[in-house]
Structure formats: C-alpha cells, structure tokens
A and B are shown apart, each in its own frame.
Chain A
Amino acid sequence: MSKSPLCRPHEHRLSRRRLLGVGAAASGLGSLLSPVVAEELRGNDRQVLCIWLDGGMSQLESWDPKPNTQFGGPFRAIPTSVPGIHVSELLPKTAQQMHHLAVLRSVCTQDNSHSAGVARINRGDPKDRGVVYPYLGSAVAKLMGPTQSGLPPYVWVKPGSGGFKTDDAGFLGPAYGALALGDAKPPANLLPHSSLTSEDYQLRQELRTRFNERFGQRRLNDEVAADTSVYEIAQALMRRMDLFDESQISAKDTERYGTHELGRHLLMGRRLIEAGVRFVKVNSYHWDSHGDHFNSSDCLHRQFDQPFAALIEDLADRSLLDNVLVIVLSEFGRTPRINSHCGRDHWPEAWSVAMAGCGLQKGAVVGATNALGTFVDGQEHDIGHLFHTWFQALGIPQDHMEYMNHGQPLPVAHDDCSAIAELLS
C-alpha cells in the first residue's frame, strides 16, 4: 500500500492479492481484472475528456510562450486569470480559464516521428513486455468500466468515418475498443427500426432476457453475461438518441463553441460527458505545421481556444470539473528552431501538456523550459509520469494495479515512473 499523503482513503480498498488472486476466474472476457475490483471502480464517478491534437501542437504558440527570444516567433504572451502565469496571445479565451488549469511545461518524450510517437504517447509508453498496450481510453474503459449511465465506456468523436474501432484496445481485446462517432454522427443501427413501436421493442427485449435466463440456468453463464452486457450498453445508447439531435443544441452553445469542426466536436464531447460516458476522446487533425507555421497557428490555435475555454467554463459551472479530468495531448511539441519554410518541426525534447479537473491542482504551472525554450530546465517528465498522475487523479490506485494477460501480470503504467506530485491536488 502506498503511504503517499496524496492518496485518498477510498483508494486503499484494493490490495494486490485481491487483484491477482481472482484473475484466472474471469477467463470469459480476456482474463483480466477481477470482477470484484471492476465493481468497486464502477462506483467511481470520475470521467475523462481527452483532446488529441494530431500532428503536434506548438508549445511556443500556446502554453509556454517565449516572446522576444531567438525562437519565440511573432506572437506575444498575455497574462491570464492567474497572476504571474502567461500564455500565448493565440489563446485569449483559454487565458481567462487559467485558474482551472494545470500546465506541465517540462514534458520530455522520446519519439520524434508521428508513427512511433502517436502510439507511444497514447499507450503511456510502459516497459516493453512483448504485448501491445492499450491506448488511454481503452485502459480506462478496462480499469473503470462504464459509469452508472450504462453508456459505452469509451467514445471517440472524430472527423471522418465512425464505427467500432478496436485498434486502441491492444492486448485487452476488441471488447475494449472505442465507439467512434464519425463527425459526431450516431453509430450504425442506433435508430430503432421504423416498423417497431417502443412497446414492441420492449417486448422483444423482455423475451430475449427471459430466454437467456433460462438458457443460463445450470450452465456457466459467461456467454449469457456477455450478451446481457452488450445489449444493455446498446439500449443505454439508444435511450440517448437526443445526444445526436442537433436541434437540442442551444444557439448560445453554438455561438460559444463555434460552428467549425473542433468546436462542434468538443461540444459533443461535453454532452457525452454530461450523459455519463466514462472516457471521451476528441480528435483534431492537421496540427503538423512544418510550413507557414505562424499563419496556421493563428488559425488553428484560435479554433482550439474558443471551444476549449467554453468547455472548461461549462464543466466548472456545472461542478463537473471536480469529477472530470480534461487532457490536451499531442504526440510531441514543435521545434523552437524555425525552418526555412517558416515552419516548426517535431520536438519531443521540451513541450507542454495542459490538463484540468479532478484530483489536479488549479491554476498551476509545473516544470519549466530554459530561456530559449529548447530544453527542459530541471526535472523532465515523460508520458509515463503523466499516466501515473492521471490514473492517480482518477482514483485508480496504480501502484497496486496490474492487468492480467493470460496469467502475465502487466503494470498499467511504466514501472520506473511515478505520479507528478506537484500536479496533484
């Protein structure tokens, strides 16, 4: 048991022995965590909204500006709602929400290619144990399960196509993949068939449940339980058709979040969180500005700023921020050096990650880069540290938490990293 003063009493309920002892019994769905543990974590109402800015957001035009320095670029730094903390002038609305945020400016990761970096950051770079680790969303879906809402635990709002995306799940298996809402549209077959009334529908489900109960008698009921679970999630989703009804969005929200893609998708993200989805990922693409970086930042960062500030404000107003962890993530930052195409390239050496919400400090900046922004000044933090921090903030006692993969215990985050105490409240 960790004696860290940062842990809350309820985090100490789970012991390693209990976790390992029953792993083999749950062979039905991938022999992972025991059902007992999963139940306890289900009672936990914490949620995650993770914003993935694909291609790499520039820290210098956002969370860690270095105006009037060699690599600082043309934009100014502006004061925020927290005295002494400055961010780029491209985030004016976010600056007013700074008192809710925690920014880590000492992120130093390893891969400077997209192909390696995207997977590594999303998986938290645990030690290589010859298995494909899950992305953060699948990991949380596995470790915490759906909330009381019964909605799918991992929903991914993304441009382009939707469907059930199983790649993120890694060794956890396809069951822990994401329900992807392509352009925030509903998944296939969500609408009840027009020939059926809701009474018909109800009747069919009652009959199905009755038949399954009978079939499950005197049989190992793994298969019946698996069917019960997926039908319950499907029905929970069908009950929330309103999430996909654009007429229910207020004019005020449309104005505040914006009508552009990221604005609409972040608004959907907020609504999914309000509906009780455990983990929501919202993707935005085209952040890889190797050329004409400053014009594109002027456009992209503002597209981010407006809905992100609205999101934080809304979550705080509704007291949701106490339970919701918000993360802004990319595969790396961008080079301080400005290339001959007025672009910034890939820079994993020194960049920033912004976050807010449950278990985290408010209005805090942790870590620092040197005066030119080229390298971290002081302690460096890798993605492994962040995974530990986030799991701890979510109430997952990660020091004692392991996946069981066919009898092989696998730590949920990098063994050699630990939570960043300064970020935790």
Chain B
Amino acid sequence: MGRRGSLLFRLQLLWLLLLFAPRCGAEGVPLHQRLDEIIARKVSAGAQTAIADDAEFFRRVWLDLAGRIPSAETTRAFLADAAADKRTRAIDDLLVAPTYAKHMQQAFHVMLMERRGDNEYWQKFLQAAFTENKPWDSMVQAMLEPQPSQDDHQGASFFLTRRLEKYGQNPVDHPGLTRDIGRLFLGVDLQCAQCHDHLFVADYKQLDFQGLLAVTQTLKPGKADPGPLVSEKPMTAKLEFVSVFDPTPHATGPRIPWGKEFEIPQDLPKDNTYSPLALVASDLPSADNPRFSRNIANRIWHLMLGRGLVEPLDSHHADNPPTHPELLELLAAEIVEHQFDLKWLFREIALSDTYQRSSRWPDADVQNVEQQQYNVAIPRRLSAEQTLDSFVQAIAGSTPESAQAEILSRLNPLFVAALASPAREHEDHRHPSVQSALFFANDGDLLASMERQQGNLIDRLMTIKDDVSLADELYLAIVSRLPSDQERTELISFLAEQTDQREARLLHWMWAMLASTEFHVNH
C-alpha cells in the first residue's frame, strides 16, 4: 500500500508539473485571474452563480479583512459610489486599516492556540506581526525558536510554552505539541503515527512523528521574563521507539517530518549552543519545505472561501488530494515567490471572481450547486469575535468609542462562552448550539445592550419619522444591505399594527434580524 501510494503521489506531481509548467511563464497575469481560470475549468458553463452584488461583496470582504460588518454609513457610501474600481479600492483600504491587523491577530490566535488561553506578550507579537505584515515563515520561526532573536519576537514562544503546561490532571502533553506543529504548520495530523506508521495514510510514518517528538520532548517552559520563554534539556542520545505492530527497535535524532535527520554531536558544546529546536525553527518554516507553503496557502484559502482545497485542513496526503491540485500548487508557489506575504495573498484572493461570487443560486434548483467547485459562495458561520464585533457595530456603532468599548468588554466573555469551541478543539468549521440559541434568546446582558440608549441603533431609528428611511437604515445597520420592497412593506405594516408600541416592536424586529442566520454567517 505504501509503495503504491507514493508512486501515485509521484505520478500526480509529474502530472502537475506538466500541467503547470507553461503557466509559470504566464508573465504579468495576476494571480487572481489565474486562479479564476483554474476554477472555471472544472465548472460547466452556466453552472455558477453571478458575481455578488455590491452589498453582498462589501459585507463579505469587511468580515474577512476587518472581522466585522461595515457601518450603515460606510455601506451607504460604497453603494452610492459609481466608480468602476471601487471594489479594488475597498479591498486596499481594508488591508491598510488597523482593523486588518486586529482581525488577523484574533483569527490566527484562535487558529494557533485553539482557545487554550491567552498571554499579553503573545498578543503583542501577533499584533505587531500583522501590523507590519511580517512574512509567515518568520512568524513561525519566531514561534518555534528557543530564544527571541528579535525584540518583537517576545511572546511568540507562547505557542510552545502554553502547550508545555499541565492542564487539569493531565501530564505535559509532548506528543500533543508534536502533533500540533504538524497540524498547524504542515497540514498533517500525525497522531496515529505516534505508535505506528499510519494505517490508512501511506505517507505518514512513525519516524516522522518520533523525529519531531525527539525535539519537543526536551522542551519545558523557561523562566518568563517578561514574555513566555521555552528551554531545552540537553539531548545526548537518539530517541528510541518501536511500533505497536512490530517490536523491531528504531531510533531517531531530531528530524523535521519528511526532512533529514540532524546529527547529535558526540560531545555537547560547552556553551550549550547545540539546540535541536533552533534547527527545527530554521528549517521547518522555509521555502524549501513544500508542505509548509501548501499548508498556509490552503489555510488562507479556507479563511477566505470557507472551505480548504484540502479538507480537513490537517489531512494533506497523497490519498486525499486537493479538489484543485493545480490551484494549491499555484498558490503555494506564489506565496513562496512573494516571501510568504500573507497580505498579498489575501488581496489576490479577494480580487478574484471566485471570491466575489454570490451565495445565491439564480433559480430554485439548488441541487446543482457544488460547493467544492466554488461555483457559489459558501456561507460560513462567524467566529465568536466576528459575531460580537458585528453585533456591537450594528447596535452601538454610532455611539462614542468609550461606550462601544464598554459593551465589548462586558459581552466578550459571554459571546465566547456561548459561541466558541471548547479549548483544544479547532474552529475550522463552526456550528450553532442549543447554548448559543438560549444565549441569544434570553441572556439579560445581551438583551439589555439592545435597549434604547443615547445614540444607539434603536435610539437613532426612533428619531426617523419616515418609515421607508427607517427600514433602509435598519437593514443597512444589521444586514449591511437595503431591504427588498417586500421587506420594507412588511416592516411598515408590522409597525403600523400597534402604533403605540413602536419602540417595542422595532426591538422585536431588530432582535430577530440579529438572531437570524443571515447575520450569523458570512455569505
């Protein structure tokens, strides 16, 4: 099985090279056009949705690049703008706004730490990294290196140190840390290969896991001053292991999965300069490691499109090919070519027709929709943070910043408790729960925050006498689009039913919009 798997893999690579080689020379054609071309090849003519209208596009790109919905005012201005290049400008504006770094800091914190807790210096590291658009390979180097090589790497070690702490009655989970390095940076879940070569995945070998474990098992949290630090116990011998299926003993020195084994020196240098972790930190996140570039290309694609080209995101292997192998290779090659510039890749994807497609099918025959072919935009549930930031934008976006900050800090723990996954679970695909439903329906703080206060949404709406303008403002504020004629009429007659209950009835309508699927997904 192993041999057949690797042969297939090589054939596939060869095929990819053949297909892909002439396109590399396609000088001057921007990535977003080339990716559209690849996507279009698999979609039969007409079997795709139209490009999203301005409102759908604008809300989507705000949620993806700023982490929240736009204000009613911003949306209004965008809709009124007649310039042909307004989408490109909107993308570029979002990429330079402080909200970009803030949102990416949050999104990558959840992706990398999986709700294991937080650290001030770690947040500073992420924030600085996304503010200055630090290349992804340097970011990962910072997370893995034993000593911060630059001032702004303070805090990056939290990725390691948090995983080197005990939680509950569980001992320090070195195999778990090894697995996470594989999952998050290489897109491979080597858990099964801890005890034996993977039974179903020919390319996941026990040696790959153990070689990395040889490094991680020497790690412990160092004295934190001021940020988190990791320290290494000296390694003097190879790590011995046996398969649970075969008692033949094996041993390995430090090794990056699918990489070469590093020598362990006969005599450790007196100045303790031999650091297996430093070897991993410099060689794993590099342009020479194709799994590293494919993983980040796939993860950025997933963040923007709601589905990885390889799914699950940590199951890259020969028997689980990408839906669009050529595209993944292209994205990976291009991100390397652009020195792991994440902002550049976000921009190119946002500019593509594939990203800008509507989530709405042109006719009722939804059966023909093939989400994995990207012939339609895939609605994706918002994270707890995106939901909270959008909620506060909608209800209090027009109040002073201090008032917004106060609501945000009060509601943050509640939203996270109700919407986020538990610790140590990835959030690649999110689902609502009974807990989140009860929270939205009944939580006192949440409901109170919607009530009328100086300058907030309901207060603003109550001052609008013209019902058509009111409907427009309400829909722009919450679902970032204008209401349809039918929605306008329904709202107006709903309010007219009990004119003395205008505020209460408006609040009911607002609540229902804020609890609706439309508000809770990026569509």
- Per-residue B-contact encoding for A98-118, CB less than 8 Å = 1, 0 else: 000000000000000001000
Could you tell me the distance in whole angstroms from the C-beta of A6 to the nearest C-beta in chain B? 33
Q: Whole-angstrom distance between the alpha carbons of A203 and B506 in the complex?
A: 12
A8 at the interface (CB under 8 A from B): no
B512–A219 touching, CB < 8 Å: no
Interface centre among B381, B521, B523 (most CB of A within 10 A): B521
B516–A219 touching, CB < 8 Å: no
Interface-lining segment among A183-191, A268-276, A317-325: A183-191
A166–B361 touching, CB < 8 Å: no
Interface-lining segment among B67-75, B383-391, B429-437: B429-437
Kindly list chain B residues whose C-beta atoms are within 8 Å of the C-beta of A90: none
Interface-lining segment among A78-86, A171-179, A303-311: A171-179
Could you tell me the distance in whole angstroms from the C-beta of B454 to the nearest C-beta in chain A? 20
Q: Whole-angstrom distance between the alpha carbons of A364 and B50 in the complex?
A: 67
A234–B431 touching, CB < 8 Å: no
Interface-lining segment among B132-140, B154-162, B228-236, B439-447: B439-447
**Total A-B Cβ pairs within 8 A:** 136
**Given A173-B431, A211-B516; A219-B199 close (CB under 8 Å):** no
B361–A218 touching, CB < 8 Å: yes
Residue in contact with A193 in the complex, picked from B381, B431, B444, CB distance below 8 Å: B444
Residue of A nearest to B372 (CB): A27
Band of interface residues on B: 35 or more
A251 at the interface (CB under 8 A from B): no
Could you tell me the distance in whole angstroms from the C-beta of A65 to the nearest C-beta in chain B? 34
Q: Whole-angstrom distance between the alpha carbons of A207 and B487 in the complex?
A: 11
**Given A192-B442, A204-B508, A207-B509; A223-B435 close (CB under 8 Å):** no
Q: Whole-angstrom distance between the alpha carbons of A233 and B435 in the complex?
A: 10
Kindly list chain B residues whose C-beta atoms are within 8 Å of the C-beta of A227: 432, 437, 516-517, 520
Band of interface residues on A: 35 or more
A71 at the interface (CB under 8 A from B): no
**Given A166-B422, A166-B425, A175-B433; A130-B438 close (CB under 8 Å):** no
Q: Tell me the residues in window 207-245 of chain A with beta carbons closer than 8 Å to chain B beta carbons.
A: 207-208, 210-212, 214-224, 226-227, 230-231, 233-234, 237-238
Residue of A nearest to B369 (CB): A220
B431–A174 touching, CB < 8 Å: yes
Could you tell me the distance in whole angstroms from the C-beta of B239 to the nearest C-beta in chain A? 21
Kindly list chain A residues whose C-beta atoms are within 8 Å of the C-beta of B487: 214
A218–B433 touching, CB < 8 Å: no
A287 at the interface (CB under 8 A from B): no
B360 at the interface (CB under 8 A from A): yes
B198–A130 touching, CB < 8 Å: yes
Q: Whole-angstrom distance between the alpha carbons of A263 and B519 in the complex?
A: 45
A223–B512 touching, CB < 8 Å: no
- Per-residue A-contact encoding for B490-508, CB less than 8 Å = 1, 0 else: 0000000000000010001
Kindly list chain B residues whose C-beta atoms are within 8 Å of the C-beta of A175: 431, 433
Residue in contact with B360 in the complex, picked from A179, A204, A219, CB distance below 8 Å: A219
- Per-residue A-contact encoding for B349-362, CB less than 8 Å = 1, 0 else: 00000000001111
Kindly list chain A residues whose C-beta atoms are within 8 Å of the C-beta of B360: 218-219
Kindly list chain B residues whose C-beta atoms are within 8 Å of the C-beta of A205: 512
**Given A211-B512, A215-B518, A219-B361; A230-B376 close (CB under 8 Å):** no
Residue of A nearest to B432 (CB): A230
B246 at the interface (CB under 8 A from A): no
B516–A174 touching, CB < 8 Å: no
B312–A406 touching, CB < 8 Å: yes
- Per-residue A-contact encoding for B201-220, CB less than 8 Å = 1, 0 else: 00000000000000000000
A200 at the interface (CB under 8 A from B): yes
Q: Whole-angstrom distance between the alpha carbons of A207 and B513 in the complex?
A: 8
A219–B359 touching, CB < 8 Å: yes
B192 at the interface (CB under 8 A from A): yes
Q: Whole-angstrom distance between the alpha carbons of A216 and B516 in the complex?
A: 11
Kindly list chain A residues whose C-beta atoms are within 8 Å of the C-beta of B516: 208, 211-212, 215, 227
Could you tell me the distance in whole angstroms from the C-beta of B506 to the nearest C-beta in chain A? 11
Q: Tell me the residues in window 6-29 of chain A with beta carbons closer than 8 Å to chain B beta carbons.
A: 29
B274 at the interface (CB under 8 A from A): no
B508–A191 touching, CB < 8 Å: no
A250 at the interface (CB under 8 A from B): no
A152–B434 touching, CB < 8 Å: yes
A223–B442 touching, CB < 8 Å: no
A230–B191 touching, CB < 8 Å: no
B57 at the interface (CB under 8 A from A): no
Residue in contact with B512 in the complex, picked from A166, A208, A217, CB distance below 8 Å: A208
Residue of B nearest to A195 (CB): B447
Could you tell me the distance in whole angstroms from the C-beta of A167 to the nearest C-beta in chain B? 8
A408 at the interface (CB under 8 A from B): yes
Residue of A nearest to B191 (CB): A130
Q: Whole-angstrom distance between the alpha carbons of A227 and B360 in the complex?
A: 18
B515 at the interface (CB under 8 A from A): yes
**Given A130-B198, A174-B422, A408-B200; A218-B362 close (CB under 8 Å):** yes
Q: Which 3 A-B pairs have the closest CB atoms?
A: A207-B512, A130-B192, A234-B437
A-B contact pairs, 12 of them (CB 8 A): A164-B433, A166-B422, A166-B425, A188-B439, A208-B515, A211-B516, A214-B487, A218-B362, A227-B520, A230-B434, A231-B441, A234-B438
Point out residues on A near B: beta carbons under 8 Å: 29, 115, 129-130, 152, 163-164, 166-167, 173-175, 179, 187-193, 195-196, 200-201, 203-205, 207-208, 210-212, 214-224, 226-227, 230-231, 233-234, 237-238, 406, 408
Q: A187-B435, A188-B438 are in contact. List 15 more A-B contacts (CB 8 A).
A: A130-B199, A174-B431, A174-B433, A189-B435, A189-B439, A193-B447, A196-B447, A204-B515, A208-B515, A211-B512, A212-B518, A219-B361, A220-B366, A220-B376, A223-B381
